[in-house]
Structure 1
Amino acid sequence: MKKLHFLLALAIGAGTLTASAIDPTATDYTFIECQGSAIPYPDRNVEGLAYPDSLAPVYLNHVGRHGARFLSSSKYTNSLLRSLHKADSLRTITPMGRELIKVCDLVVARTAGRWGALDSLGMAEQRAIASRAFMAFKPLFDNTKINAIASYVPRCVMSMDEFTHQLTRLNNKVEIYMSSGRQNSPLVRPWTDDEAYKAFMASEEWHKVYDDYVDSHVPVTVAERALGKNYPFNGDEARDISQAIYKVLAGCAAMSIDIDLQKYFTKAEINSLWSVENLHHYLTHSASTLSSAPPELASRLLSELIATLDSAVEGKNPYSVMLRFGHAETMMPLLALIHVPGCYYMTNYFDTVGLHWRDFYVVPMASNLQMILFRSESGKYYLRVDLNEQPVPLIPGRQTIYIPWATAREYLNRCLPIQYQN
């Protein structure tokens, strides 16, 4: 009997090893994490922003993504509904497909023409971040001046409005100067005019990497379970429908629509679908071996962050806080350009990206980078960098959180292309 148990254990172990060896790059993230960049902002508390008594905050740079929003367009909802209604008319639709029709109808009704707009959850996220910054760095929000800019996109403007409105509720002895519009695009929407980036996006190299990955990783089983195996899929239609199902359902939590993702995907399926979207974000807006164009989109923004910190050290910056509100596409290049841990990964094996670069960590809704300048009792200045309100080491290979400004400045300046260095 013992020998039988031993042989069974060996067989089970061998089966496990074989399964993992089939695809060692497969991920096993939770259903919540697999919402990807549509995941709502993580829970935070003000205690996580505490700093030593020997340091006093003197200046804060904040770069943030807009908060949770309705789906950015009706593209996926409409295409999915067309396929579902076709399956219904052909009588191939499954119970899961009928449930998806209800979900899509709910999304359309909840959105009611507000595609891409900030929703109540996104407003609350921005107010909460503002409140924690106020509580953690109170001297910066009392009888001081604050400058805030936003992309021209309404959800970014409203994110700025919610953030600054909360600050004035907490202390109206602060002057806030706000600006939104296309004049801010060089800082928060640089991809619209950058020629090097446009050339990269038009190139075949990244498209081939991505398309090959889509072909091998999008599970058609999701579409088949919704529309039925007898549905007359054409070409890549099953893959497209599986991706549309993922895009719609993954975006529901950001709209405060409660969906049990486990009713529609296996864990392996949602991990595969997430990895496809994750790779797209990585290839088009982070650092990779294919091109330096995506991270260098943030060059002007980083140069401005350095300059405003310099002026704060020199006592020439009229503002105690400067806020900038943009998009996930604003954040990803910046975080990659300065090599924030978990936001920078270089490889020629693109099937490993999901193991090391995860959009749900890099750019959840309302993601933000804060650079806090402190002055010590001796008069020396230090910089702390927070990603999503969590202090992170700035310089690769070092675990130091509080870095002398001269050292931090030298490092940040070296991250810039030569034409932007100063």
Structure 2
Amino acid sequence: MNFISIFRRLFLPLVVLLLAATADAQSAYDEIKADIDKAGGVYFMYPFDTPSATPAPKGYEPFYISHYGRHGARYILSNDQYDNVAEVLRRARADGKLTARGIDACDRFLAIYPHLKGRAGDLTPKGQMQHRRLAGRMYAAYPEIFRRHPRIEAYSTVVPRCIMSMAAFCEGLKEADPSLEIFTETSSVNMYYLNPHSTGNPAGTAEDFRYKSADAPWRPEWRRFCEERIDVETILARLFTDTAYARSICDPLKFEQDLFSVAAHMQCTDLDESFYDLFTFDELCRFWECDNYTYYVEKGPDPRNRGRGTALAETLLDDIVSRAGEDMAAGEPSVRLRFGHDGCIMALLTLMRIDGWTTPVTDPAKIKDVWQVHRIPMASNMQFVFYRNKKNPDDVLVRVLLNEKELRLPLPGDRAPYYRWEDFRDFYAGIVREARLKLEATK
């Protein structure tokens, strides 16, 4: 066998794998380059595209929908972020320490600050619009269900933006058909499954709640990672005439991350302003990467959380599986809606072993290659749509969609993306049992 033959047989496959790995490593930044708003991560707005749909197998029609939706577009998460940016820029301007670009940024931000101050976490008008529109799309996609005037039940976490998202969604359904019967509820008794990472989940421990706090044990490493990725000094010099002065009045990394968050979430508001111009493309990607890191560690397959961030979502998965069986047996409701948060969807996707959400990595620089939070945009949703064989009512199939796009499940798939209800139920009931054992073993 000559050298070329040996190379082709032994080394060419390795070259192909290396090239594929390189392509994957570039894909996250390529996505952002194609749509700069994806740099906003979890602030990315729902795309409302038109995904392709696989027709249901012959003889089957939809009869039941189980749903979990993230709240719609919101303002920034903490008022401290607005206030920090305003105070630092205002003080530096008064002291004559801003560059021309810094003065421009200051004036533009202070002009809109009154419209933002105190609104942290609130649903924006765009967020309400998103859910009304999503409701209309659901109604149009499954006329076989809605034309029967089904009973619809909707449940929300006790967080105001989720309650308002539920209200907007129900309003959207009523706009499509005023005769629909919709029961709504928001109560702390439902928090254990609507937000499994909240204190409402009895399986959560003090360490679990600390793990997503500002003093979480992974935070120092995360800060070092951010300091390595972000050229803090260059950004300071862009805005301040004296970077030593800037360091004396703020934590530079926090100020710049807060400023990035302001820029990232402007797409969620009705304000005609953008602050992307304060950053280079590479800087936006690196801020996105640091934010992306936090969700992976908290809710994803990061080895450091011992699987608990994902396993806690068993309450939500169990509610989806067990309620589906109960609702189908009872004959109602025909539509079960749930409204909660982005991290819950991320953890659910990981727990369900959906491709693209399950890869553990130990090198923080590689997280971006296996996990991208902009895939859970504002108003992100999962729909579990059930189809019944018209000739045999006991023959039921399930199709799962993320943001109205079909998902492939780790189940026997001769008719994928349609799966036998029995296979779906038994597999995920087993996943729930495994998660509960893990939570008990890792207390």
Tell whether the structures are fold-level matches, with TM greater than 0.5.
yes
What band does the TM-score fall into relative to the shorter chain? 0.7 to 0.9
- CA 1:87–1:284 in structure 2 vs 1: closer, same or farther (change >3 Å)? same
8 Å CA contact retained: 1:224, 1:238: no
Structure 2 residue corresponding to 1:401, chosen from 400, 413, 417? 417
Does 2:59 align with 1:43? no
Report the counterpart of residue 374 of structure 1 in structure 2.
387
Q: Within 5 A, what are the aligned runs for 1:268-417?
A: 268-291=282-305, 292-313=307-328, 315-361=329-375, 363-379=376-392, 380-395=395-410, 400-417=416-433
TM-score, normalization by structure 2: 0.83
Which residue is equivalent to 1:33? 38
CA shift, 1:231, in A, is 4.6
* Residue 166 (structure 2) pairs with residue 154 (structure 1): no
> Structure 1: where are the runs of 5+ without partners?
1-19
Residue deviations 1:18-55, cap 9 Å, x none? xx9xx989944222210110111112348648645532
| Structure-to-structure mapping, 1:97-116, within 5 angstroms | 97-111=102-116, 113-116=118-121
CA distance in 1, matches of 2:317, 2:269: 32
- Kept in 1, the 8 Å contact 2:236–2:246? The answer is no
CA contact (8 A) 2:37 2:267 kept: no
Instruction: Identify which of 229, 241, 246 aligns with 2:255.
Output: 241
Contact 1:299 1:420 in 2 (8 A): yes
- Asked whether the equivalents of residues 197 and 297 of structure 1 are also in contact (C-alpha less than 8 Å), the reply is no
Instruction: Decide whether the 8 Å contact of 2:262 with 2:275 is kept in 1.
Output: no
**Pairing 1:165-314 to 2, within 5 Å after superposition:** 165-193=171-199, 194-195=204-205, 197-198=208-209, 200-201=211-212, 205-220=217-232, 221-234=234-247, 237-291=251-305, 292-313=307-328
Instruction: Tell me, in whole angstroms, the C-alpha distance in 1 between the residues paired with 2:93 and 2:84.
Output: 14
What's the CA shift for 1:411?
A: 2.3
1:42-87 deviation digits (Å, cap 9, x = unpaired): 1234864864553211111110110011223321121112211222
- The answer on whether the counterparts of 1:191 and 1:297 sit within 8 Å (CA) in structure 2 is yes
For residues 117 and 230 of structure 1, do their structure 2 counterparts lie closer, same or farther at Cα, with a shift above 3 Å needed?
closer
Are the counterparts in 1 of residues 52 and 405 from structure 2 also a CA contact under 8 Å? Answer: no
Q: 1:118 aligns with which of 118, 123, 131?
A: 123
Query: Residue in 1 aligned with 2:16?
Result: none
Deviation at residue 384 of structure 1 after TM alignment: 0.6
2:149 and 2:179 in contact (8 A); partners too:
yes
Task: Return closer, same or farther for 1:89/1:110 CA change in 2, 3 Å cut-off.
Answer: closer
Whether the 8 Å contact between 1:218 and 1:242 is mirrored in structure 2 is no
**Cα distance change, pair 321–94 in 1 and its aligned pair in 2 (3 A):** same
Number of residue pairs the alignment of both structures matches: 399
- Closer, same or farther: CA 225–372 of 1 in aligned 2, 3 Å: same
Deviation of the 1:299 alpha carbon: 0.9
Q: Does the aligned pair in 1 maintain the 2:56–2:418 contact within 8 Å?
A: no
Please state how far the C-alpha of 1:420 moved relative to its aligned partner: 5.1
Counterparts of 1:113 and 1:78, CA distance in 2:
9
CA contact (8 A) 1:219 1:239 kept: no
Structure 2 vs 1, CA of residues 317 and 420 (structure 1 numbering), >3 Å: closer, same or farther?
farther
1:57 to 62, 67, 77: 62
Kindly state the Cα deviation for residue 215 of structure 1 after the two structures are TM-superposed: 2.1
The alignment-based identity, stated in percent, is: 23
Asked if the contact 1:56/1:376 (under 8 Å) is kept, the reply is yes
Structure 2: 5+ residue stretches without partners: 1-21, 438-443
Secondary structure at the aligned position of 1:87 is classed as helix
Distance 1:276 1:419 in 2: 28
**Mapped partners of 2:55, 2:125: distance in 1:** 28
Which residue does 1:75 correspond to in 2? 80
Distance 2:37 2:410 in 1: 30
Query: Aligned partner of 1:188: which letter?
Result: L
1:120 Cα deviation after fit: 1.4
Structure 1 length as normaliser, TM-score? 0.86
Given that 2:312 and 2:435 are in contact with CA atoms closer than 8 Å, whether structure 1 keeps it comes out as no
Are the equivalent residues in 2 in contact too, given 1:144–1:173 (CA < 8 A)? Answer: no
Counterpart contact for 1:300–1:420, Cα < 8 Å: no
Residue equivalent to 2:10? none
The Cα shift of 1:125 comes to 0.6
Q: Is the 8 A contact 1:63 1:369 kept in 2?
A: yes
Instruction: Write out per-residue CA displacement over residues 135-160 of structure 1, whole angstroms, 9 at most, x where no aligned residue.
Output: 11123223211110101111111100
CA–CA distance in 2 between the matches of 1:26 and 1:382? 34
> What residue identity is the alignment partner of 1:65?
R
More moved, 233-242 vs 34-43: 233-242
What amino acid is the match of 2:228? S
User: Is contact 2:412-2:419 (8 Å) kept?
Assistant: no
SS in 2 for 1:366: coil
